Amino acid sequence: MSGHEHEHVRVAVIGSGFGGLGAAVRLRREGITDFVILERASGVGGTWRDNSYPGCACDVPSHLYSFSFAPNPDWPRTFSGQRHIWEYLEYVADTFRLRPHLRFDSEVKLARWDTEKLWWELETASGTLTADVVVSATGPLSDPKIPAIPGLDSFPGKVFHSARWDHDYDLRGKRVAMIGTGASAIQIVPAIQRDVARLTLFQRTPPWVMPRVDRKITAPERWLHRQLPASTKLRRGILWGIRELQVQAFTKHPGELGLVESLAKANIARAVRDPELRRKLTPDYRIGCKRILLSNSYYPALARPNVDVVASGLTEVRGSTVIAADGTETEVDAIVFGTGFHVTDMPIAERVVGAEGRTLAESWAENGMAALRGATAGGFPNLMTVIGPNTGLGNSSMILMIESQLNYLADYLRQLNVLGGRAALDPRPEAVGRWNDFVQQRMERTVWNTGGCNSWYLDASGRNTTVWPGTTAEFRRATRYADLAEYDILRPPVKQGTDATTTTQGTAKAERGRARKQESAA
Residue 502 CB-density burial (10 A; 0-12 exposed, 13-18 middle, 19+ buried):
exposed
Q: How far apart are CA 356 and CA 503, in angstroms?
A: 18
pLDDT of residue 457: 94
How high is the mean pLDDT in each 10-residue block of the chain (522 residues)? 68 98 98 98 97 97 97 97 98 98 98 97 97 97 95 98 98 98 97 98 97 96 97 97 96 94 96 97 97 97 98 97 97 97 94 97 94 98 97 96 98 97 97 98 96 93 95 98 97 69 44 45 42
CA 41, distance to chain mean position in Å, is 17
Q: How far apart are CA 392 and CA 459, in angstroms?
A: 14
pLDDT of residue 75: 97
Residue 230 CB-density burial (10 A; 0-12 exposed, 13-18 middle, 19+ buried):
exposed
Which CA distances in Å does 338 have to 189, 204, 391, 408? 10, 12, 23, 34
pLDDT of residue 489: 98
**Of the candidates 434, 445, 412, 426, the residue with the CA atom closest to the CA atom of residue 519:** 412
**Of the candidates 131, 99, 98, the residue with the CA atom closest to the CA atom of residue 117:** 131
Q: How far apart are CA 295 and CA 187, in angstroms?
A: 7
Task: Pinpoint the alpha helices (H) of 321-463.
Answer: 360-364, 398-419, 429-443, 447-450
Which CA distances in Å does 469 have to 440, 441, 444? 8, 9, 9
Length of the chain in terms of residues written: 522
For the four alpha carbons of 464, 467, 473 and 477, in that order, the dihedral sign comes to: positive
**300 and 271 Cβ atoms separated by less than 8 Å:** yes
**181 and 456 Cβ atoms separated by less than 8 Å:** no
pLDDT of residue 366: 85
**439 and 244 Cβ atoms separated by less than 8 Å:** no
pLDDT of residue 494: 80
Question: Looking at the whole model, is its pTM more than 0.95?
Answer: no
Q: How far apart are CA 400 and CA 403, in angstroms?
A: 5
